[in-house]
Amino acid sequence: MNRCFSKFKVFTLFAGISTVAFLTVVILPFIYGIYLTFTNWDGIHSRYEFIGFLNYLKLVKDQVFKSSFLLTLKYAFFTVIFTNLIAFFLAYLLTSGIRGQNIFRTIFFTPNLIGGIILGFIWQFIFHNALPYLGQQLRIGIFSESWLATPEKAFWALVIVTVWQYSGYMMMIYIAGLVGIPQDLIESATIDGAGKFTLLTKVILPLMVPSFTVCLFLSLQRSFMVYDLNLALTKGGPFKSTELVAMHIYNEAFLSQNYGIGQAKAFILFITVAIITLVQVYLSKKAEVEL
Amino acid sequence: MRGLSPDIKSRILNVFKFLVVLFIASLYIFPFAIVVINSFKKTGEVILNPLTLPKEFRISNYQEAAQRMRYFRSFFNTFVITLFSISAIVIFSSMTAYIFARKKWPINKIFFGIMVASMIIPFQAIMIPLVKIYGSMNMLNNMWTLIYMYLGFGTAFAVFLYHGFIKSIPFELEEAALVDGASIFQTFWRIVFPLLKPVTITLIILDALWIWNDFLLPSLILISAEKRTLQLSTFYFYGTFTSNYGLAMAALMLTIFPIIVVSLFMQKYIIAGIIKGAIK
């Protein structure tokens, strides 16, 4: 009994505050949120009813949600691929001993120090004012009108800014991976007659799989949750055409006051992110073992 | 190329690589450069040509933007929120991770498992009930509620990071202290915590970038204008003054500038922090 009590005392002293904060801020709202998806709470009235799976049924028929969800998948696909390609390319160039390596690394990383809201506003100005001016002066057709005015181009604007922002972050992780490759491995492969290309595909890339695992995970997770950048750059427009799912959920809940449906959508997002990232980590780990 | 010696070949290749990187880097810097030059212009000048240097440097843009967006007030708010949140996360998470790593109690294993699993939950899946719960207790629009939430949201990752590191520290050191009659509390703070310095630095960097630049959570919690953080006041200011380009650009610069200055001094730590935090 006494032992048990002293255990309890030690636990409370060391872990008490953080476990309470963690439970009341993350776990309790998460569980309560699942309950909310079965209600028709509107955010104003304190009374609401239990309506079973009605929210989920509505959600399946919700065309706006569907298109926002598909748009997010498309966005995730392109941003993850381009971010990682460019990040790896930059990391490869910036570990080959060129002049000013460190300054270049800092430059590419800088966007990650600044909040998405600020970055979004900067690029809004670029797409809205600077590039159209340039396009009109130099007669470059593609820039002559604001990219944010047409749905297709606004989507690509969002992709470009995301890639611009995150490639520097992922580049740092790839650089750490490349620097960590033992030099004697590369030397012995070179002595055995491996050319630059063979060296890259047969030695460097297989050893970089752990870095790819991390970068793919981070870029995937972020692409599903992006909100600030979306809000500041396109505000979901024109005509809701670039409303990614995180923003769609926010608007459904806090602007349209459909908290129950909003939360049901958020829960679908959670399931999607969980499945996709777990599958990705599983596949990457498998690749690590095989190579 | 054939007649050249390998040495010259590789030099030419390096110059070529340098030029490629230089070109990409200038594309990366271009948006920042545009903001800087336009932040000193009159609005009319911006519309006329957003790509030239200003005719005269209007420092008054900065003064006016700072005043209208309550810059110093928001800066102070952001600073206090970031400082207290990070201190709380560091102090309580390191203690929690210590007890989780050193005591094999079932409750520790359960909590550690839940924390690791919870890291996959996107913020969007929590925000609606979070606002409802804390709203119903009249705890919104309060800086301390926000700090408490940052502690809650920051705990899982911080405990995870500390836990991994503590496990690699040999137990002998602590054992000696405990035998000498030090309490477990003293042992932790005098012997273990100083050893955790590298993780603490990593954590401070990652959490500072997260909390300083966070928008969504403070936008849900802080309602009144005088409580706004820098991200919030920039957002509202920009929304009101979008067409006043000179002022809007100056406001963006005011928010960017302190981060760049601090990061130049901390550069080494930031990069190391990102890499350690990512590899976990």
Burial of B110 (0-12, 13-18, 19+ CB in 10 A): exposed
Which residues of chain B does A116 touch, with a Cβ-Cβ cutoff of 8 Å?
213, 215
Domain A57-290 falls in which CATH fold?
A: MetI-like fold (1.10.3720)
Test A30 with B126 for CB contact under 8 angstroms: yes
Asked whether the predicted pLDDT for residue B279 surpasses 70, the reply is no
Say whether residue B117 is in contact with chain A using an 8 A CB cutoff: no
State whether A98 and B17 contact (CB < 8 Å). Answer: yes
Report the alpha-carbon distance of residue A277 to residue A218 in Å, rounded. Answer: 9
Confidence of residue A291 (pLDDT cuts 50, 70, 90): low
pTM: 0.91
Contact B248 A176 (CB under 8 A): no
Residue A197: predicted pLDDT: 82
Q: Kindly state the helix (H) or strand (E) to which residue A138 belongs, with its residue range.
A: helix A131-138
Enumerate the domain spans of chain A. Answer: 57-290
Q: Measured between CB atoms, does B245 come within 8 Å of chain A?
A: yes
How close A22 gets to chain B, by Cα (Å)?
4
For the record, the structure tokens of B156 come out as 């899982």
CB contact (8 A) between residue A246 and residue B234: no
Q: Which of B12, B13, B19, B21 is the best substitution to test chain A (most A C-beta atoms within 10 A)?
A: B21
B62-94 per-position pLDDT tens digit: 998 899 989 999 999 999 999 999 999 999 999
- Label residue A290 by pLDDT band (50, 70, 90): low
For residue B45, the model assigns a pLDDT of 82
Alpha-carbon span B111 to A12, nearest angstrom: 13
Of A115, A173, A246, the CB nearest to B278: A173
Does A66 score more than 70 pLDDT? yes
Over residues A75-89, the mean pLDDT reads 96
Q: From B26, which residue of chain A is nearest by alpha-carbon distance?
A: A107
Mean pLDDT of chain A: 89
Distances, alpha carbon A136 to alpha carbons A133, A148, B103, B244, in Å = 5, 16, 68, 22
User: Do residues B38 and B50 make contact, with C-beta atoms less than 8 angstroms apart?
Assistant: yes
Domain ranges of chain B: 6-60, 69-241
Task: Give the CATH H-level superfamily of domain B69-241.
Answer: MetI-like (1.10.3720.10)
Can you tell me the mean pLDDT for A227-247?
91
Distance in Å, alpha carbon of B209 to nearest chain A alpha carbon: 6
Round the CA-based radius of gyration of chain A to a whole number and report it: 24
pLDDT at B229 over 60: yes
Quick one: pLDDT at residue B2?
56
Are A22 and B278 inside 8 Å of each other by CB?
Answer: no
Burial of A75 (0-12, 13-18, 19+ CB in 10 A): buried
Question: CB of B149 within 8 Å of any CB in chain A?
Answer: yes
One-character DSSP codes across B191-247: IIHHHTHHHHHHHHHHHHHHHHH--HHHHHH--SGGG--HHHHHHHHHHHHTT-HHH
Going by pLDDT thresholds of 50, 70 and 90, the confidence category of residue B174 is: confident
- Shortest Cα distance from A244 to chain B (angstroms)? 12
Do A278 and B114 make contact, defined as CB atoms within 8 angstroms?
A: no
Confidence class for position B58, pLDDT limits 50, 70, 90: confident
Using one digit for the tens of pLDDT, what is the confidence trace for B6-54?
Answer: 778 888 888 899 999 999 999 999 999 999 999 998 888 888 788 888 8
User: Are the beta carbons of B49 and A133 separated by less than 8 Å?
Assistant: yes
For residue B223, the model assigns a pLDDT of 87
Is the model more confident about B280 or about A150? A150
Q: What is the mean pLDDT of residues A104-118?
A: 92
- The pLDDT tens digits of the residues spanning B239-251 come to 888 778 889 999 9
User: Does the distance separating the beta carbons of B92 and A18 come in below 8 Å?
Assistant: yes
The DSSP code sequence of A191-239 is: HTT--HHHIIIIIIHHHTHHHHHHHHHHHHHHHHH--HHHHHHTTT-ST
pLDDT at res. A43? 67
On the question of pLDDT at B1 being above 80, the answer is: no
ipTM, 2 decimals?
0.90
Residues in chain A with CB shorter than 8 Å from the CB of B44 are none
DSSP conformation letters of chain B: -TTS-HHHHHHHHHHHHHHHHHHHHHHHHHHHHHHHHHTTS-HHHHHH-TTSPPSS--THHHHHHHHHTTHHHHHHHHHHHHHHHHHHHHHHHHHHHHHHHH---HHHHHHHHHHHHHTTS-THHHHHHHHHHHHHTT--S-HHHHHHHHHHHHHHHHHHHHHHHHHTS-THHHHHHHHTT--HHHHIIIIIHHHTHHHHHHHHHHHHHHHHH--HHHHHH--SGGG--HHHHHHHHHHHHTT-HHHHHHHHHHHHHHHHHHHHHHHHHHHHHHHHHHH-
pLDDT value, residue A96: 84
- Per mean pLDDT, which range of A78-92, A124-138, B117-131 is the poorest? A124-138
pLDDT digits (tens, 9 = 90+) for B101-149: 999 899 999 999 999 999 989 999 999 999 989 998 889 999 999 999 9
The owner of tokens 């948006």 is: B31
Mean pLDDT of chain B: 90
Examine the pLDDT at B254 and tell me if it is beyond 80: yes
List residues bridging with B138 in a β-sheet.
none
